[in-house]
Amino acid sequence: MNAEIQNLRAPAELRHADELARLAEADNAPRPAGWQLSPRAVRRFILGDPKLGVARKFYGDDPLVDRAIVSLMSRQGLMLVGEPGTAKSMLSELLGAAISGTSALVVQGSAGTNEDHIRYGWNYALLLAEGPTERALVPSPVLNAMRSGRIVRFEEITRCPPEVQDALISILSEKSLALPELGADRVEAARPGFNIIATANLRDRGVHEMSSALKRRFNFETVHPIDDPAFEKELVLRQLAERLEPEAVAVKGAEDVAELLVRTFQDLRSGRTAEGASLNRPDAVMSTAEAVNVLHAAALEAAYLDDGKLGGGHVARQIQGVVLKDSPDDGKKLRAYVDHIVKERAARSGLWKEFYTAARALKLG
Partner from Mg ion, ligand ADP, none binding residue 54, C-beta < 5-8 Å depending on class: none
Residue among 164 and 286 whose Cβ is closer to ligand ADP: 286
Q: Contacting ligand ADP (CB under 6 A), which of 226, 258, 299, 338?
A: 226
Smallest separation, CB 201 to ligand ADP (Å): 6
Smallest separation, CB 289 to Mg ion (Å): 9
Smallest separation, CB 50 to ligand ADP (Å): 17
Instruction: Give the Cα separation of 172 and 181 in Å (integer).
Output: 21
CB 299 within 8 A of CB 305: no
Residue among 71 and 89 whose Cβ is closer to ligand ADP: 89
Instruction: Give the Cα separation of 360 and 343 in Å (integer).
Output: 10
Smallest separation, CB 276 to Mg ion (Å): 33
* DSSP reduced 3-state for 114: coil
| Backbone angle region of 301, left / alpha / beta, with phi > 0 → left and psi within -120 to 50 → alpha | alpha
Binding mask 69-108 for ligand ADP (x = CB under 6 A): -------------x-xxxxxxx------------------
Smallest separation, CB 199 to Mg ion (Å): 5
Smallest separation, CB 337 to ligand ADP (Å): 22
For residue 141, what are the contacts with CB-CB under 8 A and spacing of at least 6?
Answer: 105, 106, 107, 117, 152
Smallest separation, CB 9 to Mg ion (Å): 13
Q: What letter does residue 222 receive in the DSSP assignment?
A: E
Q: Which stretch binds ligand ADP (CB under 6 A): 3-11, 55-63, 247-255, 332-340?
A: 55-63
Q: Contacting ligand ADP (CB under 6 A), which of 123, 133, 211, 239?
A: 239
Smallest separation, CB 346 to ligand ADP (Å): 29
Q: Contacting ligand ADP (CB under 6 A), which of 60, 96, 311, 313?
A: 60
Report the run of H or E that residue 61 belongs to, with start and end. none
Binding mask 48-87 for Mg ion (x = CB under 5 A): ----------------------------------------
Range 273-280, long-range pairs (CB < 8 A, 24+ positions): 273/341, 275/341, 275/344, 277/340, 277/341, 279/333, 279/336, 279/337, 279/340, 279/341, 280/333, 280/336
Report the run of H or E that residue 220 belongs to, with start and end. strand 218-222
Residue among 23 and 235 whose Cβ is closer to ligand ADP: 235
Q: Which stretch binds ligand ADP (CB under 6 A): 56-64, 143-151, 186-194, 351-359?
A: 56-64
Q: What letter does residue 115 receive in the DSSP assignment?
A: H
Residue among 58 and 120 whose Cβ is closer to ligand ADP: 58
Q: Contacting Mg ion (CB under 5 A), which of 86, 89, 103, 264?
A: 89
CA–CA distances in Å: residue 228 to residues 34, 223, 225, 267, 329: 36, 14, 9, 12, 27
Q: Is residue 92 at the binding interface for Mg ion, with CB under 5 A as the rule?
A: no
For residue 227, what are the contacts with CB-CB under 8 A and spacing of at least 6?
Answer: 60, 266, 270
Q: Contacting ligand ADP (CB under 6 A), which of 58, 154, 355, 356?
A: 58
Report the run of H or E that residue 314 belongs to, with start and end. helix 312-323
Instruction: Give the Cα separation of 132 and 183 in Å (integer).
Output: 9
Among 93, 152, 140, 146, CA closest to 114? 140
Instruction: Give the Cα separation of 227 and 57 in Å (integer).
Output: 16
Partner from Mg ion, ligand ADP, none binding residue 123, C-beta < 5-8 Å depending on class: none
Applying CB under 5 A, the residues found at the interface with Mg ion are: 89
Applying CB under 6 A, the residues found at the interface with ligand ADP are: 58-60, 82, 84-90, 199, 226, 235, 239, 288-289, 292
